[in-house]
A and B are shown apart, each in its own frame.
Chain A
Amino acid sequence: MKKNQINTSLIIGAFLVIIFGFMLFTFQVREGEVAIKTRFGKAVLYDDLYVEGDTLPDGKAVGDVKLKADIDPGLHLRLPWPVHDVHIFDKRIQSSEWAFEQTGTRNAQPILITVFVAWRISEAELFNRRHDGDLAKADDMLKGKVRSAQNAVIGKYAFNELVSTNKDELKLDEIEEEMKTRVAEASKVNGIEIIMVGIKRLGIPESVTGAVFERMKAERQAEIQKIAAEGERQAMEIKAKADLEANKILAQARAEAIQISGQAEAQTAKYYEVFKQNPELANFLFQRKALEGLLKENSTLILDPNTPPFNLLTQPDATKAAKP
């Protein structure tokens, strides 16, 4: 009985020791986080082999390979405090934006601009040193860097390179890329990677907007007249073109019909050769056919009673007398 009790106690004890040891000698870094481990306040680099200020075997200073201080997600070992201390940071992409700020273009035109920055911690050890691991402090630092970058970059470009209907003139992508390069360069030493710098909003001073409204009205009025006239012209052009084309088609068809008739008449010539054998008979037959054709429908005839065959009714002997 005693043996069993001892076993149970040992199991529970061992379990508690394991849990306690696990908690004391390990730490977890979650997805989206990065950590650094310090030994008596100094960053542990290269998995505890080197500390900052050492020289690495390849001759490089530890400062050149600071990324080794960053600890990726997973389970890691540590010594209990005060030997090791662990600092965990948010490595996810952050988005910072600030209020409208006035700046000037190359042609001294005042504009208001709002910029946003997408960034993340690239070197946790540096970030911790520069900003005490505080995202808000980093945000403040970025604000200054962005302001100076936007003033420098916007000042190099004309207003029509910021807004233009001409694609060749518009330099928006170039402007944003240049701002990103400048901010990235300035933020590198703070352990921050700049993912993107984008213009969120562009404005013009209030005094200018009134004039813009007047210009908008004048432009629209001019365009209204132009468009109305243009519409009429376009419509007339389309109709004239269609009429011309239609006439051409009809003329072509008529010419073709005439050509077909001509060919048919030419083909009839061989038959007319036969009619030459007795022109009087041919002529008589043609006339008879013509007469019959003319009086085919809806004709009213007014005839002399002597016209055959009516002469049979009035002068029955006349026809006989007329016979030789």
Chain B
Amino acid sequence: MSDEEKQTPAVEPPVEKGPTPSEKVPTARVEVMDDARTRALTEALQSSFKVVRVIMVILAVVFLGSGITRVESSKKAIHLQFGKYVDTLDPGLVWAWPNPIDKIVEILVDEPTEITSDVGYRTADEKEPQASMSFQPTYDGYTLTGDGNVLHIKAKMTFSLDKTKGDTIRKYKFGFSDIQSLLTNVLDNAVYHASASRSAIDAYNNNTELGKAIERRVKETIEKIDSDLQLKIELLPVVKVPLDVLPVFDAFRTVVEERSKTVKDAEAYAVSTLAKARGQAEVIKGGGKTAANALLTSVEAEEKAFSAQRSYYEENPLLFEQRLVAETMQRVLTNAVDVFYLSGRTPRIWLNRSPEKRKLKEGGAP
């Protein structure tokens, strides 16, 4: 408000024209009062407009500020403009026009969700499988196997969004009215497919393979429903046989384990026998080679010795023989454990006998 405006409604001094003071006084009072009211009203309006303007500025700031959203690191955000998808935003501080122009929808992406397929497991009143001579389909939870048997199968599945895939988050948030319910149905269907294509024993004994089959089927079905929906899945099935037939299944499992052990033992025996045989074969071959080498070396040496000694022998055979016999006797007697020499008897030689105890000989020590 300008100074001029402020001064305008100032109180003007009453102008005295003609009438007597007794006539003029009431009119002047009324005018003065009117001016005062007008001025007060104007001032009040001015103040109100000031307040309105301040409020407007504050509202505008608040309005624009309300468009700021902090997206947590475990979340992603979808930016909608007039309800239409614009972009998927990463964690951090984001700004968008406030509602109803833009909208930021946050989605938890890191936390896995767990769903369970137990239509083939629990009873109608949510209990564990009950012992029974027969099953009532509307009460007992069970599933049929490929060989027409019945089993209890429960599968727990955890799934989370695969952040790296394009339209996944958009589809996850806006593509399904109740994704958990749909995925539970998909999981139930996968459990049925997996059990209907294998024998009860196979499903009971090979839990891992059953889990893989269920997981494969779940992924195939999700792909069929919407190929943009990329989920990370982990699955764990629990298989139980009806309590009434459990003993015979356990006996079967024991026999299977025993068979497996017997076969494994036999396989271990086979491996060890073959390894031993191969080792022995190498020893035999090595022995053959060694003996052959020894023979060759020995004969060659003998041949050399023969050639060297032949001239001495031919010169005096008897002396040569006696010399060699004496040398030989010396070596033999040195190595011998016991030597007995008896007068008047024919010499006898005991070979390679290990004496039990060394003792004094009848004729004295050698």
Contact = CB atoms under 8 A, between A and B. Distances in A.
Interface residues of B, number: 143
Interface stretch (B27-35, B80-88, B108-116): B80-88
Given A165-B197, A278-B314, A302-B342, A265 B245 contact: no
B332 A250 contact: no
A198 B133 contact: no
A216 B221 contact: no
Nearest to B53: A8
A8 B49 contact: yes
Given A223-B201, A299-B349, A33 B83 contact: yes
Given A245-B277, A274-B303, A289-B302, A302 B348 contact: yes
A281 B310 contact: yes
A167 B197 contact: yes
B301 to A, nearest CB: 9
A314 B229 CA distance: 115
A260 B289 contact: yes
A253 interface: yes
Contacts of B5: 1
B84 A73 contact: yes
B293 to A, nearest CB: 7
A286 to B, nearest CB: 8
A32 B274 CA distance: 69
A281 to B, nearest CB: 5
A299 B221 CA distance: 89
A178 B140 CA distance: 29
Given A216-B245, A284-B324, A310 B83 contact: no
A97 B189 CA distance: 12
Contacts of B324: 284-285, 288
Interface in B313-366: 313-314, 317, 321-322, 324-326, 328-333, 335-355
Contacts of A288: 324-325, 328
Given A99-B138, A202-B192, 4 more contacts: A217-B245, A264-B293, A300-B338, A308-B326
Interface of A: 1, 4-5, 8, 12, 28-33, 72-75, 90, 92-95, 97, 99-100, 112, 114, 116, 118, 159, 162-167, 170, 172, 195-196, 198-207, 209-210, 212-213, 215-217, 219-221, 223-224, 227-228, 230-232, 234-236, 238-239, 241-243, 245-247, 249-250, 252-254, 256-261, 263-265, 267-268, 271-272, 274-275, 277-278, 280-282, 284-286, 288-289, 291-292, 294-305, 307-310, 314
26 contacts: A28-B100, A31-B84, A73-B85, A93-B176, A94-B177, A163-B148, A170-B196, A196-B225, A201-B119, A203-B135, A203-B137, A213-B242, A219-B149, A228-B255, A231-B258, A231-B259, A234-B266, A235-B262, A238-B263, A242-B271, A253-B280, A263-B292, A297-B335, A298-B352, A299-B337, A302-B342
Interface of B: 1-2, 5, 42, 45-46, 49, 52-53, 56, 78, 80-85, 100, 119-120, 133-138, 142-150, 170, 173-178, 181-182, 185-186, 188-189, 192-193, 196-202, 221, 224-226, 242, 244-245, 248-249, 251-252, 255-256, 258-260, 262-263, 265-267, 269-271, 273-274, 276-278, 280-282, 284-285, 287-289, 291-293, 295-296, 299-300, 302-303, 305-307, 309-310, 313-314, 317, 321-322, 324-326, 328-333, 335-355
